[in-house]
C-alpha cells in the first residue's frame, strides 16, 4: 500500500485526483479475492471519470465476489514529477496498491493521442514496457475500446486486446485468469494467452506475424503463427442491451469532472451511415433500451449520487425511438427536485419544438447541432442525410422556444472538399444569425462555429482516403476565419499538427511501435493536450526510426490494398465499405437500414444479431 506524504500533494494541482475515497467507491480486501484488475485510463482523472465504459466494467467486475477492480488514471505532469522524485510507483485509488500487485492492467483506448500515456503509465508502474519482456510474474496488460480495432501500433506493448462490447467478455477473461492462477500458472504466460485467444473478440498480437512488401512498404500478409489464434478476430456484441449490467451507483468525484452528471445510455449503435464515422461502423447494429428501463435506472442513479442533471447519451440520442415519451417521463419524475434533462449534439433533422419545450423546463442551456459540412453537395458525399432546410427548421424551433445560443459543429478536410464548401460553413453561420432576427425581430443570437480536422479512420468508407496536409488544413482554417467577421459568431478550431499525428496512428501498423517508444523517451506524453504536445519530438522520432509518417496519413490507398487491421473485424463486410466509398464519390445516398431497406453491411447476418427498436411499443 502506498502512503502519500501530504507535502507531496501541496505541490500539485487538483490533488483530489490522487486521493480516492470518493462516494460510492468500492473497496475490497485484496486478500479475499482471486483476481485483481486495475482499470487504467490513459488521461487525467477528470477525463477518465467521465468514461461510461470504465464505469460499466468497474461495476461488473466488482459484482463478482472473488474479483476486485480498482481505478488508476494518468497523473498530470506535476504529480508525475513528484512520483519520480520520491520513487512512488503508479497506484490505484481504492487501496493505494501499486499496479505490479495486480493480475491484469486494462487500458481504455478512446483516442490515438493517448498512446504515449499508456507507455508512461507502465513505466511509472515499473512494469516492463514491451509485452515480450513480461512473463507470468508480471501483470497482463490488456486494452479495449474503439482504437483496439486497429491494435497494430500498440502490438509491441499490449498482451491482448478486446474488440467490441466488454460486458460479457470481461467476466470470461477474469474466469480464465482465475483458472490459470489456481493451476499454479502452469504453462506460464503463453498458457493464459492461449486460453484468452479462444474467447470471442480477444486478439493476441504475438500470435500473428506481419510481413511487408519490398516495393512499396505496404502490408503483404498477416500470418497466424500459433494454433490458438483465429485468422480473423471478430468483435464481441451484447445482443440485448436492455438486460445488460449498468452502473447504478457510479463513483462520485470530489472535484469537477468533464461529465459530472447522470449518464443514461439510451442505445448502442447507429446506422445513419455517415461515411466518416468510425463509431457508426464499430457499434452496429442499433440496440435500444426500453424507456421504462431507462427511467428505473435514472431513479436509482439519482438516489445514489445526488446529481441534478440527467444526460441522455448515445451516438445520435435524438434518434431514440421513444425519446419524447422518455423525456416527458423524466421531467415529470424529477422536476420537483430541480433535476434537468440534457441532450448532447443533435442531428439537425431530429429536433422539434415539442422536444425543445420539454428539455428546457428546468434549466435552459445552449444547443449543439452538427451539420458537419457547409454545402449540400459535401453532405451528400459524407451521407449526412440532412439539408439546409432541416437546419433552419431545427434552429428556428429552438429560437421560438427561447434559445438564443447555438453551437454548430463542422469538419474540414473531408473527401472531395473545395473552398466553396468552406465558404458554405460561413454562409450557414450567417443564416442562423439572420434567422434569429427574423423570428425575434431583433439581433441577439450567439453562434459558435467549431471546426475539427477530418482524420480518415479504419473500418470506414473513407479508410482509403488520403488526409489533408497540415498546411492545407491551416489554409482552410484561415479562409474560414477570414469569412467569419460578425462579433456574434465565435470560431473554434483544432490544432492541425495533433490531427496530423492522429491520422498517422489511426491507420498505422506495427512499425509505428518503435516510433511511439522513441517519442516517449524524448518526452512525449499528453499529446492530445496542446500545451504538452511536442510536434518536433515526434518528427525527430520518425526520423530517427527511419519511418515516413506521410506513408500512413497522406497517402491514398488502393481499394484492394491489404489494411493492417483487416484481420480485426467489426462485423461489417469490407465490400460494403468499398461500395460506400464509391457511393461517396458519386454523391449518392445510402438510407438508414434501421427503418429503411437493408444495406447489406453484413453485421446482422454475420453476427446473428438483430436491430432492437422500441418505436410504437412503449
489 & 412 share domain: yes
- The answer to whether residue 616 scores a pLDDT higher than 60 is no
When pLDDT is averaged across residues 312-323 and rounded to a whole number, the result is 89
Contact 457, 278 (CB under 8 A): yes
pLDDT in tens, 527-575: 999 999 999 999 999 999 999 999 999 999 999 999 999 999 999 999 9
Same domain, 279 and 210: no
Q: Are 113 and 45 in contact (CB under 8 A)?
A: no
Question: Using omega within 30 degrees of 0 as the cis cutoff, is the peptide bond preceding 285 cis?
Answer: yes
Domain that holds residue 220: 6-234
Q: Once rounded to an integer, what is the mean pLDDT over residues 260-282?
A: 94
Provide φ and ψ at 31, rounded to 5°: -70, -15
Residue 487 neighbours by CB distance under 10 Å:
6
CATH of the domain at 370: 3.80.30.20
The answer to whether residues 558 and 499 belong to one domain is: yes
In the block, cell 463513483 appears at 251
* CATH code of the domain containing 193: 3.40.50
Check whether 353 has a pLDDT greater than 90. Answer: no
Asked if pLDDT for residue 468 goes beyond 90, the answer is yes
pLDDT tens for each residue of 583-607? 999 999 999 998 889 999 999 999 9
Residues making up the chain, counted from first to last: 618
pLDDT in tens, 490-536: 999 999 999 999 999 999 999 999 999 999 999 999 999 999 999 99
229 and 267 belong to one structural domain: no
* Distance of alpha carbon 287 from alpha carbon 270, whole angstroms: 9
pLDDT value at residue 618 = 41
CA angle (111, 57, 605) in 5-degree steps = 75
How many independent structural domains does the chain possess? 2
At residue 138, does pLDDT exceed 80? yes
User: pLDDT value at position 345?
Assistant: 60
Pairing of strands 446-453, 405-412: parallel
> Is residue 617 assigned to a domain?
no
Residues 390 and 301 occupy one common structural domain: yes
218/278 same-domain check = no
Q: Are the CB atoms for 417 and 462 separated by under 8 Å?
A: no
Tell me if 241 is assigned to some domain.
no
Confidence of residue 257 (pLDDT cuts 50, 70, 90): confident
Q: Average pLDDT of 136-159?
A: 98
In this structure, the answer to whether residues 294 and 188 fall within a common structural domain is no
Tell if the pTM clears 0.85, that is, is over it.
yes
Closest CA to 192 of 126, 122, 142, 121: 142
Q: Is 574 helix (H, G, I), strand (E, B) or coil?
A: helix
Look at residue 175 in the predicted model and tell me its pLDDT.
98
Residue 222 has what pLDDT? 98
pLDDT tens track for 38-88: 999 999 999 999 999 999 999 999 999 999 999 999 999 999 999 999 999
- Specify the DSSP element, H or E, that contains 490: strand 489-493
Residues of the chain above pLDDT 70, percent: 96
Other CB atoms within a 10 A radius of the CB of residue 340 amount to 20
User: In this model, does residue 617 exceed pLDDT 60?
Assistant: no
Q: What is the mean pLDDT of the chain?
A: 94
Adjacent-strand bridge partners of 264:
312
Amino acid at each position: 500500500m502506498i502512503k502519500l506524504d501530504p507535502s507531496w500533494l501541496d505541490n500539485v494541482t487538483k490533488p483530489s485526483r490522487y486521493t480516492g475515497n470518493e462516494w460510492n467507491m468500492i473497496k475490497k480486501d485484496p486478500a479475499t479475492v482471486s483476481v485483481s484488475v486495475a482499470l487504467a485510463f490513459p488521461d487525467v482523472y477528470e477525463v477518465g471519470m467521465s468514461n461510461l465504459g470504465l464505469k460499466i466494467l468497474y461495476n461488473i467486475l466488482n459484482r463478482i465476489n472473488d474479483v476486485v477492480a480498482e481505478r488508476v488514471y494518468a497523473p498530470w505532469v506535476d504529480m508525475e514529477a513528484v512520483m519520480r522524485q520520491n520513487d512512488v510507483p503508479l497506484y490505484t485509488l481504492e487501496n493505494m496498491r501499486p499496479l505490479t500487485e495486480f493480475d491484469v492492467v486494462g487500458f481504455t483506448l478512446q483516442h490515438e493521442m493517448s498512446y504515449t500515456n499508456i507507455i508512461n503509465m507502465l513505466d511509472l508502474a515499473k512494469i516492463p514496457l514491451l509485452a515480450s519482456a513480461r512473463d507470468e510474474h508480471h501483470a497482463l496488460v490488456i486494452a479495449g475500446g474503439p482504437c483496439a480495432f486497429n491494435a497494430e501500433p500498440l502490438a509491441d506493448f499490449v498482451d491482448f486486446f478486446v474488440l467490441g462490447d466488454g460486458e460479457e467478455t470481461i467476466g470470461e477473461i477474469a474466469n480464465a485468469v482465475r483458472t490459470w492462477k489456481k493451476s499454479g500458472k502452469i504453462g506460464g504466460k503463453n498458457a493464459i494467452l492461449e486460453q484468452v485467444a479462444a474467447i470471442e473478440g480477444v486478439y493476441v498480437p504475438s500470435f500473428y506475424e506481419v510481413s511487408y512488401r519490398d516495393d512499396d512498404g505496404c502490408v503483404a500478409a498477416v500470418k497466424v503463427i500459433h494454433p490458438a489464434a483465429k485468422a480473423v478476430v471478430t468483435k464481441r456484441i451484447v445482443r440485448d442491451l436492455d438486460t445488460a449490467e449498468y452502473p447504478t451507483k457510479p463513483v462520485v468525484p470530489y472535484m469537477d469532472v468533464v461529465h459530472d452528471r447522470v449518464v443514461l445510455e439510451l442505445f448502442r449503435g447507429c446506422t445513419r451511415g455517415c461515411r466518416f464515422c468510425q463509431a457508426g461502423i464499430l457499434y452496429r447494429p442499433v440496440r435500444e433500451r426500453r424507456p421504462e428501463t431507462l427511467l428505473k435506472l435514472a431513479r436509482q442513479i439519482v438516489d445514489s449520487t445526488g446529481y441534478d442533471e440527467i444526460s441522455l447519451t448515445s451516438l445520435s440520442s435524438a434518434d431514440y425511438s421513444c425519446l419524447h415519451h422518455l423525456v416527458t417521463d423524466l421531467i415529470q419524475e424529477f422536476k420537483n427536485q430541480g433535476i434537468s434533462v440534457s441532450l448532447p449534439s443533435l442531428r439537425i433533422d431530429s429536433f422539434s419544438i415539442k422536444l425543445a419545450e420539454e428539455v428546457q423546463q428546468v434549466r435552459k442551456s445552449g444547443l449543439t447541432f452538427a451539420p458537419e459540412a457547409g454545402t449540400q453537395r459535401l453532405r451528400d458525399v459524407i451521407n449526412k442525410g440532412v439539408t439546409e432546410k432541416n437546419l433552419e427548421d431545427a434552429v428556428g424551433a429552438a429560437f421560438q422556444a427561447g434559445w438564443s445560443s447555438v453551437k454548430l459543429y463542422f469538419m474540414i478536410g473531408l473527401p472531395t472538399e473545395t473552398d466553396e464548401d468552406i465558404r458554405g460553413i460561413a454562409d450557414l453561420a450567417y443564416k442562423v444569425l439572420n434567422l434569429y432576427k427574423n423570428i425575434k425581430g431583433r439581433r441577439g443570437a450567439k453562434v459558435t462555429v467549431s471546426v475539427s480536422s477530418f482524420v480518415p479512420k479504419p473500418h470506414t468508407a473513407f479508410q482509403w482516403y488520403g488526409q489533408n496536409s497540415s498546411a492545407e488544413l491551416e489554409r482552410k482554417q484561415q479562409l474560414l476565419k477570414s469569412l467569419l467577421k460578425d462579433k456574434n459568431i465565435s470560431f473554434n478550431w483544432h490544432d492541425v499538427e495533433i490531427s496530423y499525428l492522429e491520422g498517422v496512428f489511426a491507420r498505422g501498423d506495427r512499425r509505428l511501435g518503435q516510433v511511439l517508444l522513441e517519442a516517449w523517451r524524448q518526452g512525449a506524453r499528453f499529446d492530445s493536450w496542446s500545451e504538452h504536445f511536442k510536434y518536433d519530438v515526434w518528427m525527430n522520432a520518425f526520423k530517427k526510426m527511419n519511418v515516413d509518417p506521410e506513408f500512413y496519413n497522406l497517402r491514398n490507398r488502393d481499394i484492394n490494398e491489404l489494411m493492417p487491421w483487416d484481420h480485426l473485424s467489426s462485423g461489417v463486410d469490407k465490400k460494403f465499405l468499398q461500395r460506400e466509398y464509391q457511393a461517396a464519390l458519386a454523391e449518392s445516398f445510402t438510407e438508414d437500414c434501421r427503418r429503411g431497406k437493408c444495406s447489406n453491411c453484413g453485421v446482422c447476418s454475420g453476427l446473428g444479431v438483430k436491430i432492437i427498436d422500441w418505436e410504437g411499443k412503449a
